[in-house]
Amino acid sequence: MLANPATALELDHVSRHFDGRAVLSDISLSIPAGKITCLLGQSGCGKSTLLRIISGVDRPDPGGRVLVGGTEVAGPGRFVEPEDRRIGFMFQDYALFPHLSVADNLAFGLRHLSRPERRERVAKVVERIGLGHLLDRYPHSLSGGEQQRVALARALAPRPSILLMDEPFSNLDQGLRERVRRETVDILRETGTTAIMVTHDPQEALAVGDMIVLMRAGRIEQVGTPFEIYDRPCSAYAAEFMGPCNRLTGLWSQGRIETPIGAFRADLDMPDGALALACIRPQALSIGPDGQGISARVMAKTFTGESEQIDIMVHPLAQTLRMHSHVRIPMGIGDKVSLQLNGAQVHVFPEEPGTDDPLDQS
């Protein structure tokens, strides 16, 4: 097979079973070179297992293949050891050696090079990431952000063809997490590194990924750019995982779903009379003075700083609808209002009874 220079990694029908239970089921995927790909999904969906198979720490079931740069590194009758794959791994806890200085941590994976080559390689990565003032320090004396930067530098020093990152920002506080994440993404883009990052946070995947691979119960649910996967989800599961939704069940009739708050068109191949599901983003809803839309009542308001979260009741719905507003709403709890909708933020799917909740992390 000839290597496609635009493709850094290919997974071909990769599955993995443990004790008879399928953790991964028939995963086929191409990872673009020089881009950041996020493996996204709830706990237990198989994303970390997939990362271990890519790295060579684990093997796929017989029949599955892993190709790096067009070369098979795992498949029928072939297995390349992790150290020979040119794949870097950045662990969730950073895994810095506590007894080694920062300089020695950075040089640890370069023992195959001569001493002058090691010094040159460390100097370049130190300059790139800005670690010169930390070289004589030890991991225990570093802040969380500094440890993360050292771990990134150590992973990049051997110049891997692919960098794997398993929840790399989860140990950082929120404010620090966002800053370090931006710095890391900037470095990866400047160096043209092909990176695969595991995360359970859809907002993080949307902010970081050039491509998102949404996983569900060991399978790929959807692959796309952040805009594609958020604006055009392939299923109710994908829509709800990528952001909050109000769920409304209705009847499908003549190319649209009929709900108590209106009818919404969609391109679905369904018979008239079938049940359909409308997933309505909170930002699709707005309210105004009573008498200018669908009659509703304000049931709750929660101020979150950047926006206000408002729960409204519309007859005959049994549950409230939730909306987000970045504009201060003068109406108070109990006031009658009029509900208005932006149909562009409504996603319609066939009804799937018993669908698992994407927000259930148990």
DSSP track, 46-97: SHHHHHHHHHTSS-PPTT-EEEETTEEEEETTEE--GGGTTEEEE-TT----
Q: Are residues 263 and 227 in the same domain?
A: no
Distance CA 26, CA 285 (A): 39
Q: Does residue 215 register a pLDDT over 60?
A: yes
The pLDDT-based confidence of 243 (bands split at 50, 70, 90) is very high
Q: Does residue 59 register a pLDDT over 60?
A: yes
Kindly state whether residue 169 falls inside one of the protein's structural domains. Answer: no
How does pLDDT run across 63-111, given as a tens digit for each residue?
999 999 999 999 998 999 999 999 999 888 888 999 999 999 999 889 8
What CATH number is given to the structural domain containing 74? 3.40.50.300
Q: Are residues 211 and 258 in the same domain?
A: no
What pLDDT does residue 358 have? 57
Average pLDDT over residues 250-273: 92
Kindly state whether residue 184 falls inside one of the protein's structural domains. Answer: no
What CATH number is given to the structural domain containing 250? 2.40.50.140
Q: Exposed/middle/buried for 64, CB within 10 Å: 0-12, 13-18, 19+?
A: buried
Instruction: Check residue 200 and report its DSSP letter.
Output: S
Q: Are residues 302 and 210 in the same domain?
A: no
Q: Are residues 230 and 248 in the same domain?
A: no
- Total domains, the chain: 2
Are 248 and 260 contacting, i.e. CB atoms less than 8 angstroms apart? yes
Structure tokens at 89: 């791994």
Kindly state whether residue 1 falls inside one of the protein's structural domains. Answer: yes
Q: Does residue 171 register a pLDDT over 70?
A: yes
How does pLDDT run across 125-157, given as a tens digit for each residue?
999 898 999 999 999 999 988 999 999 999 999
Q: Are residues 208 and 334 in the same domain?
A: no
Q: Final residue of a domain: which of 240, 259, 291? A: 240
The pLDDT-based confidence of 52 (bands split at 50, 70, 90) is very high
Kindly state whether residue 197 falls inside one of the protein's structural domains. Answer: no
What pLDDT does residue 357 have? 53
Q: Are residues 271 and 302 in the same domain?
A: yes
Pairing of strands 36-40, 211-216: parallel
What pLDDT does residue 274 have? 94
Query: Look-up: residue for tokens 């909050």?
Result: 244
Are 289 and 337 contacting, i.e. CB atoms less than 8 angstroms apart? yes
Q: Are residues 345 and 278 in the same domain?
A: yes
Q: Are residues 248 and 211 in the same domain?
A: no
Q: Are residues 224 and 308 in the same domain?
A: no
Structure tokens at 268: 């679905």
Kindly state whether residue 80 falls inside one of the protein's structural domains. Answer: yes
Dihedral sign, Cα of residue 185, residue 188, residue 191, residue 196: negative
Q: Are residues 220 and 272 in the same domain?
A: no
Per DSSP, helices labelled H in the chain are: 47-55, 102-107, 115-129, 144-156, 174-191, 202-208, 226-231, 236-242
Distance CA 349, CA 233 (A): 10
Q: Which residues are CB-contacts of 203 (< 8 A; sequence separation ≥ 6)?
A: none
How does pLDDT run across 320-334, given as a tens digit for each residue?
999 998 888 888 999
Of the candidates 36, 308, 26, the residue with the CA atom closest to the CA atom of residue 190: 36
What pLDDT does residue 4 have? 62
Q: Which of 91-95, 112-116, 268-272 has the lowest mean pLDDT?
A: 91-95
Q: Which residues are CB-contacts of 281 (< 8 A; sequence separation ≥ 6)?
A: 243, 244, 245, 246, 345, 346, 347
Q: Final residue of a domain: which of 188, 213, 240? A: 240
Kindly state whether residue 286 falls inside one of the protein's structural domains. Answer: yes
The DSSP bridge partners found for residue 196 are 37, 164
Domain that holds residue 340: 244-350
Residue 321, CB-side half-sphere exposure with 13 Å CA sphere: 30
Backbone φ/ψ region at 227: left (φ over 0), alpha (ψ -120 to 50), beta: alpha
Q: Exposed/middle/buried for 36, CB within 10 Å: 0-12, 13-18, 19+?
A: buried
Q: Are residues 267 and 343 in the same domain?
A: yes
Q: Does residue 362 register a pLDDT over 70?
A: no
Q: Are residues 219 and 279 in the same domain?
A: no
Torsion angle in degrees (nearest 10) through CA of 219, 225, 228, 234: 0
Are 80 and 92 contacting, i.e. CB atoms less than 8 angstroms apart? no
Kindly state whether residue 183 falls inside one of the protein's structural domains. Answer: no
Pairing of strands 162-166, 78-79: unpaired
Average pLDDT, whole number, for the chain? 91
pTM: 0.90
